[in-house]
Amino acid sequence: MNNFNNLPESYWLDSTEKTNYPSLDKDMEVDVAIIGGGMAGITAGFILKRRGLKVAVLEVDRILEGTTAKTTAKITSQHGLFYDNLINNVGEEKARQYADANESAKEFIQSIIEEKGIDCDFSIMPAYVYTQDDSYVEKIKKEVEAASRLGIDASFVSDTHLPFPIKGAVRFENQAQFHPRKYLLELAKEIPGEGSHIFENTKVLDVKENTPNEVIIENGYTVKANKVIIASHYPMENLKGLYFSRIYTERAYIIGVLAEENFPEGMYINAESPTRSLRRQRYKDGQMILIAGENHKTGQGKSTEVHYNSLKQFAEDNFTIKDIPYRWSTQDCMTMDDIPFIGHITSNTKGIYVATGFKKWGMTNSTASAMILSDIITEGYSTHSEVFDPSRSDIKGGIGTFIKENLNVGYEFIKGKLNLEDNDTEITTGEGKVVDFKGKRVGFYRNTDGKTYIVDTTCTHLGCELQWNKAEKSWDCPCHGSRFSYDGKIIEGPALKELDVTIIED
């Protein structure tokens, strides 16, 4: 059995070809510039190109290799025990907008798959939120009532075909699952041509509000566009709207399990903690069970290997395991009220839009964001936009979270400045740690090539101190979620500048 000796690898990436779109090598002008080549950016580019606009998708790395490629890939409007709280916090009208937007996104994905004949393991499945705790049964019944009021086909069930007993579950009918990259790579193919483009390895440094807006690229080129969509997961432009104070990031973990038993039809997630999300996925001539959970704020978890081992233990407790060929982790942007930010980046910035904060339900929320922003850009209005307005003030359910998360950021900032782990710079191969080196807090990592990489552990975003992530061999920011490789390169934003690094050879 796989004992997690190798670095994590996503099944979605391993089972598809890498892309090879060009880098931007000249100034240009388009109708819409889209920053970020994940599901939101590619879907928006696909829709807007079909509506006759010239678009440019600008991706800092390769498209569809970020959070989009590290998901459980559930296409569902069921987002945990969510709708009862949502109605209480924003009212039934806005809650219905949220539900309708996600149901519409699910239907859009299915319609495109059918129209284009995309082979992407798409299958209709019921989705369940289950509990093994008596104290959650009443909450689940309230969720059934709330979802039903919003027009969702929901019911209460007291039994599933899971290999363990439950106390109750809410079941949503006609939800779905798929292979996200097989679907999205086909959408991406339709974007280039007729004045539209996808550019990879193209790093955006800034967006200047103007007529037209100017997107500044690291290599000195500029893309001018009347409209700009920032769909870069964590907004690369986060001072407008103070998004760094309204978004926090969480990491979660996934293992792909081959078992003797067949997994039952359906997609499952529990109501209580720790989270356990399960679904099956077609794999070679059989199936693989995807088990996810173990979420924590980026840079603030236990040793990250512990989380993979906890999922492995859960798998062993419930299935006869033959192998665990895949494991990976993902990072999600969370808003204070659990509702994404989709719309104008600020209330007085009319040509720049943002799409972020999809929580852990990015397949439908990112698709909904592409549909909403495309409607706003081409029609001037979206029937679903009000509940997602980034400038909303009715954050009744999020005020406490806002205070708690920003206090947490302040705590992590101060703690990082005060705490130095040790002054022992001797490390073994594959080990990383923070040390006091000549009175300065630095990160040491010794690679298998015999080189030791020494980085300045101060995050280049807003100055928090980074923590070592053993499982992913990365430096992670506990304040705003930026992540860097052991040699200082950016893995995930909002940081735009790499870490200073010194390399020592044996």
What is the per-residue pLDDT for 412? Answer: 41
In single-letter form, the type of residue at position 408 comes to N
DSSP string spanning 280-299?
Answer: EEEETTEEEEEEEEEEEETT
Nearest-angstrom CA–CA distance, 484 and 464: 13
What is the per-residue pLDDT for 502? Answer: 82
Structural domains in the chain, CATH included, are 11-71+182-245+338-396 (3.50.50.60), 419-505 (2.102.10.10)
In single-letter form, the type of residue at position 359 comes to K
Phi then psi for residue 471, to 5 deg, are -65, -40
Q: Are the C-beta atoms of residues 477 and 408 closer than 8 Å to each other?
A: no
Q: Are the C-beta atoms of residues 55 and 32 closer than 8 Å to each other?
A: yes
CA 25 from centre of chain: 29
Q: Which helix (H) or strand (E) holds 83?
A: helix 83-90
What is the per-residue pLDDT for 436? Answer: 72
- The one-digit pLDDT tens for each residue of the chain (506 residues) are 456 777 889 999 999 999 999 999 999 999 999 999 999 999 999 999 999 999 999 999 999 999 999 999 999 999 999 999 999 999 999 999 999 999 999 999 999 999 999 999 999 999 999 999 999 999 999 999 999 999 999 999 999 999 999 999 999 999 999 999 999 999 999 999 999 999 999 999 999 999 999 999 998 999 999 999 999 988 876 567 778 778 888 889 999 999 999 999 999 999 999 999 999 999 999 999 999 999 877 655 566 788 999 999 999 999 999 999 999 999 888 898 999 999 999 988 889 999 999 988 999 999 999 999 999 999 999 999 999 999 997 655 444 554 444 444 443 434 444 455 455 566 777 778 888 766 677 888 888 787 888 888 888 877 888 888 887 788 888 877 788 888 888 887 788 788 888 887 76
What is the per-residue pLDDT for 473? Answer: 83
Q: Are the C-beta atoms of residues 430 and 395 closer than 8 Å to each other?
A: no
At 241 the three-state DSSP class reads helix
Nearest-angstrom CA–CA distance, 383 and 399: 26
At 48 the three-state DSSP class reads helix
What is the per-residue pLDDT for 2? Answer: 54
What is the per-residue pLDDT for 406? Answer: 43
Q: Kindly list the distances between the CA atom of residue 310 and the CA atoms of 30, 302, 307, in Å, as whole numbers in the listed order.
A: 48, 12, 5
Q: In the structure encoding, which two tokens stand for residue 321, read together? A: 């395991």
Q: Which helix (H) or strand (E) holds 455?
A: strand 451-456
Q: Kindly list the distances between the CA atom of residue 402 and the CA atoms of 9, 275, 315, 475, in Å, as whole numbers in the listed order.
A: 34, 22, 35, 25
